[in-house]
Amino acid sequence: NAGVTQTPKFRILKIGQSMTLQCTQDMNHNYMYWYRQDPGMGLKLIYYSVGAGITDKGEVPNGYNVSRSTTEDFPLRLELAAPSQTSVYFCASSYSWPGQGTHSNQPQHFGDGTRLSIL
């Protein structure tokens, strides 16, 4: 069972470089999320998606972009990397009941995270 897969696991970037963090899930979940976790803190929501073609901002979206062209994939892009974006990034997905749109009681399944350092 693959679940939620994130690549890469580690990456070092220089200031101003760009990169895409990949996230894919094989559970046919409609809802997908990106979070960041700074040292000593809980996770904060960056962006989320309720289905293919639909994305929306979370609590800390500045400096990031997302797209959702398929149910399975939800990549996160950093266009101009800044030291403040040094963090651990988690992708997650959750199930929603077909035709009802209910999902809030469903657990989110997390990937193993990507540790990103920007120097």
Partner 1 sequence: AQTVTQSQPEMSVQEAETVTLSCTYDTSESDYYLFWYKQPPSRQMILVIRQEAYKQQNATENRFSVNFQKAAKSFSLKISDSQLGDAAMYFCAYRRGDHSGGGADGLTFGKGTHLIIQP
> Would you tell me which residues interact with partner 1 (CB under 8 A)?
31, 33, 35, 40-45, 48, 50, 56-59, 88, 90, 92, 101-105, 107-108, 110, 112-113
Q: Closest approach of Cβ 47 to partner 1, in Å?
A: 9
Cβ closest to partner 1, residue 33 vs residue 64: 33
Measured CA to CA, the distance from residue 53 to residue 57 in angstroms comes to 14
Peptide bond into 8 cis (omega under 30): yes
Cβ closest to partner 1, residue 13 vs residue 92: 92
Q: Closest approach of Cβ 45 to partner 1, in Å?
A: 4
Work out whether strand 10-13 and strand 114-118 pair parallel, antiparallel, or are unpaired.
parallel
Measured CA to CA, the distance from residue 35 to residue 74 in angstroms comes to 12
